[in-house]
C-alpha cells in the first residue's frame, strides 16, 4: 500500500464517486463549450473575437491541440456553440445550444440576464445527462472564447475571493500595455457591483461557455460521474458549480496546474492538488484530455490488479 502514491488516492475517489468497489469507467468525452465576450470591446485580448469561430472550425476539422489529445486518450470530442458571435455551419460533432451571439460588455453592464444565465446552466445540465445516457462516465469539459480569461478573472476575484490584480494574467499573450489595459477594464467591471452571490456573479461577469460548462459539471456530478477540471477557465466554472452545490467538488478531479495566475486561487480555495504540472495555459480542455489516461489507470488499480495473499507472519 502506498507504492502507487496519488493514484491510490484517485482510485479511492473514483470508487466513492461511482459507488462501486470495482468501478468500471465507460466512455470518456471531452466537450468544448464556445462563446464570445462583449468585454473584448475594452481591448482585453490580443486576438479579435473572430478567432473563436475559427478555432471551433479547427476543433471540428481535427486540427487543434484538443483534437490530437483526445485521439491519443481514446476519448470522444464534442463542441457546443454556447454563444459564438457568428453563425456556425452544421456538423455532426457540433451542438447548437447558442443563448445569443455573445455576452454584453461587463465593463459597463451585466454580461447576461438572469434568464440567459439560467438557460445556459440548464442546457449544460441537460448535455451532461445526455452524455451519461450515452454511456459516458468521464466528463472532460473545456472551452473556447476570446476574452474568457477576463471573465474568469472577475469570477475568481469575487468567488474565491482573491485580489483582482492577483488573478489577472496575459491570457493569449498580451504585452505589458495590453495587460495594463485589461486590468483597467476589469477594475471598471468590478466597480459596478459588489455582489458575491455565485449566480449573480455569473450573470454579471461570466460567459455563456463558462455558465454552460458549470451546468455541465453540476449535471455530471448529480449523476455521480467523474468530472475532470482543466485549467483556469474550467476552474472558474468549477468554482461557480461548487459555490452553487458544494457536494459537486467531491466528483471533480483537477487535471493540471495552469500557468495562468488566477488558477492558483482556484486550486487553493477548492483544496485541489492537480495531477499534472506542465506549465500549460492553452485551454480547450487540453490538460483534462491528458489526464484521462491517468484516471483510467487509477480505476484499473481496483479492477485489473491481482490480489496476493498476505503473509500471516507480517
Q: What is the DSSP string of 193-228?
A: -----HHHHHHHH--HHHHHHHHHHHHHHHTT-EEE
* 299 burial via Cβ count (<10 Å: 0-12, 13-18, 19+): buried
pTM more than 0.75: yes
Residue 171 is predicted with a pLDDT of 83
> Can you tell me whether residue 275 is helix, strand or coil?
coil
* 115 burial via Cβ count (<10 Å: 0-12, 13-18, 19+): exposed
Cell reading at 309: 495473499
Q: Contact, 157 vs 240, CB < 8 A? A: no
The catalytic residue positions are: 284
Q: Contact, 34 vs 141, CB < 8 A? A: no
Cα dist from 302 to 150, 203, 252, 290, whole Å: 41, 42, 19, 21
Q: Which domains does the chain have, with CATH numbers?
A: 25-293 (3.40.50.10210)
Residue reference for cell 467591471: 189
Q: What is the DSSP string of 144-194?
A: E-TTHHHHHHHHHHHHTT--HHHH---TTT--HHHHHHHHHHHHHHHTT--
Cβ-proximal residues to 254 (8 Å cutoff; 6+ apart), any chain = 228, 229, 235, 267, 270, 272, 273, 274, 275
Cα dist from 176 to 110, 170, 173, 259, whole Å: 27, 8, 10, 17
Return d(Cα 224, Cα 10) in angstroms, integer. 15
Cell reading at 189: 467591471
* 177 burial via Cβ count (<10 Å: 0-12, 13-18, 19+): exposed
End-to-end CA distance of the chain: 14
Return d(Cα 176, Cα 13) in angstroms, integer. 42
Residue 65 is predicted with a pLDDT of 97
Give mean pLDDT in consecutive 10-residue pieces for the chain, a chain of 314 residues. 95 98 96 98 94 97 97 98 97 98 98 98 98 98 97 98 95 89 97 98 98 98 98 98 98 97 97 96 96 98 85 60
Return d(Cα 213, Cα 208) in angstroms, integer. 8
> Can you tell me whether residue 139 is helix, strand or coil?
strand
Residues listed for the chain: 314
Q: Contact, 153 vs 164, CB < 8 A? A: yes
Q: Contact, 209 vs 145, CB < 8 A? A: yes
Return d(Cα 170, Cα 290) in angstroms, integer. 23
Helices (H) and strands (E) in the chain, counts: 12, 6
Amino acid at each position: 500500500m502506498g507504492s502507487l502514491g496519488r493514484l491510490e488516492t484517485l482510485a479511492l475517489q473514483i470508487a466513492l464517486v461511482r459507488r462501486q468497489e470495482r468501478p468500471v469507467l465507460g466512455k470518456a468525452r471531452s466537450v468544448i463549450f464556445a462563446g464570445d465576450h462583449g468585454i473584448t470591446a475594452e481591448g482585453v485580448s490580443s486576438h479579435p473575437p473572430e478567432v473563436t469561430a475559427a478555432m471551433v472550425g479547427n476543433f471540428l476539422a481535427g486540427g487543434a491541440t484538443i483534437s490530437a489529445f483526445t485521439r491519443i486518450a481514446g476519448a470522444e470530442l464534442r463542441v457546443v456553440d454556447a454563444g459564438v458571435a457568428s453563425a456556425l455551419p452544421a456538423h455532426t460533432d457540433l451542438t447548437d445550444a447558442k443563448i445569443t451571439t455573445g455576452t454584453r460588455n461587463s465593463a459597463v453592464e451585466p454580461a447576461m440576464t438572469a434568464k440567459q444565465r439560467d438557460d445556459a446552466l440548464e442546457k449544460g445540465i441537460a448535455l451532461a445527462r445526455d452524455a451519461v445516457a450515452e454511456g459516458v462516465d468521464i466528463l472532460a469539459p473545456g472551452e473556447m472564447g476570446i476574452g474568457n480569461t477576463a471573465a474568469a478573472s472577475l469570477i475568481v476575484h469575487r468567488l474565491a475571493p482573491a485580489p483582482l490584480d492577483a488573478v489577472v494574467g496575459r491570457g493569449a499573450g498580451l504585452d505589458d500595455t495590453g495587460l495594463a489595459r485589461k486590468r483597467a477594464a476589469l477594475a471598471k467591471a468590478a466597480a459596478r457591483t459588489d455582489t458575491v452571490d455565485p449566480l449573480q456573479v455569473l450573470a454579471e461577469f461570466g460567459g455563456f461557455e463558462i455558465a454552460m460548462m458549470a451546468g455541465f459539471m453540476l449535471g455530471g456530478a448529480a449523476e455521480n460521474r467523474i468530472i475532470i477540471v482543466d485549467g483556469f477557465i474550467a476552474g472558474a466554472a468549477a468554482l461557480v458549480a461548487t459555490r452553487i452545490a458544494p457536494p459537486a467538488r467531491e466528483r471533480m478531479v483537477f487535471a493540471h496546474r495552469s500557468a495562468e495566475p488566477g488558477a492558483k486561487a482556484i486550486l487553493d480555495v477548492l483544496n485541489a492538488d492537480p495531477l499534472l504540472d506542465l506549465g500549460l495555459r492553452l485551454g480547450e480542455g487540453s490538460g483534462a484530455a491528458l489526464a484521462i489516461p491517468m484516471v483510467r489507470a487509477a480505476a484499473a488499480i481496483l479492477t485489473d490488479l491481482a490480489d496476493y495473499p498476505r503473509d500471516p507472519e507480517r
